[in-house]
Structure 1
Amino acid sequence: MPPDDTILVVEDEPKIAQLVGDYLAGNGFAWHHLAHGDTVIPWLGEQTPSLVLLDLMLPGTDGLTLCREIRARWPALPVIMLTARVEEVDRLLGLELGADDYICKPFSPREVVARIKAVLRRSRAQDAPVVENGLSLDDEGWRALADGHDLELTAVEFQLLRVMMQAPGRIFSRDQLMDHMYRDHRVVSERTVDSHIKKLRKKIAEVWPEREIIRSVYGVGYKYQPEE
């Protein structure tokens, strides 16, 4: 791994944090440990790790709340969640909030390192120019091209499509999408998101009437689902 790969380990049990950190160091990673949830967002405001290893149960701000805020502020930052709570609802909630992976305690530190490497590989593939199945995004011109046809998206529609295309299959809640639509954090209703998604779908359908790449997830939000 490159020497600038730093993993932020957010874990309130020092022995677990140290064990994971030792394995990270042994695999060429730098790492930094935070034990309190309230310190995570301020630290991320000043540092840029390659990935966050985030425990669910933390003093102060809990892991799910932190995952939601990290995904809203730094959508490209990979997050792997750690938890001793194995209930299916917690697993699903963590992933729906935008976690890239989920590991249950007790775990092997070798498994954690392997998962980190896998998530980083996927993340870096997503950082490449966004081109998928005939759909490409031109960041400089804020244009989306479907088989070479300009979809003529608005700035908000382009941003919505780009955020979802960077994480194929990931479910974004309406609140998360609103954070990306309006950086000034203006207050808008969930129906505003639905309206923009509807217009985005319509523009895509004008070029690809048989393809549905923006999917609704009932009760949760939306996701970009490329064709198999």
Structure 2
Amino acid sequence: MLDRRKLTGYVLAGISVIAFIILAVFFIVSAQGKDPQTGQTPSVSTTPGVPSNSKTDASSTAHTQPAEETTTEPQDEAAQATATYESDYEQMAWRTALLASSWKGSTTAENRIKGYREAGMTQELAETFQPVWAEVFAEAQAVDVFAKPDGKPQVQEILGVEGSYIWRVAVNVQYSGTWHSNGTTKVLSPRTATWYLNVDQAKGAVTAIDGPTADELKIRLDEED
């Protein structure tokens, strides 16, 4: 018959062995789940490719992400050509168009050519340009036609390359005037028409002008408008 004391000792020894084994297994499992460098158990990341314990503050991001490169696209050539015209030649186009669409019958040919050159025409154009009014009012006296801008000139076409651009410019002009015919003074009420100019960058001047024809203006000398 077993001694109760011995039996109790065997039971306690068995319990102690089992407890020791359980503790040993627990420590082994815990050690395998820890980070070998920090000794801490990593948590599961909620963002693919980004560990949940990684730093996301602005300073760390600045060091880990490459700076974005900014590149400037070459300016569109048409925009560049237009900018060149507006900064250097627009006022020339204005002056020339307004003078070409005006007329004073008493002005001498010499003074008219001088005025055209000063406005911006080439010497050749200034000497050969004939305003439409010379035809319209050929038989009238004391003719004065006044012109003023009607809106901003618009570049219709750009030819050539940088340094030798030719701008085709449309200029809307409002004109009015007076003249003397058959013993009375006639009045031309304000009207609007468009003159077209070729502005040549290489020559630095206006090389061609096209305006309305006498038929298009529909001005009758024997009637007041």
Shorter-chain TM-score range: under 0.3
Who wins on radius of gyration, i.e. which is larger?
2
Which structure dedicates a bigger proportion of its chain to helix?
A: 1
TM-score normalized with structure 2 length: 0.22
TM-score normalized with structure 1 length: 0.22
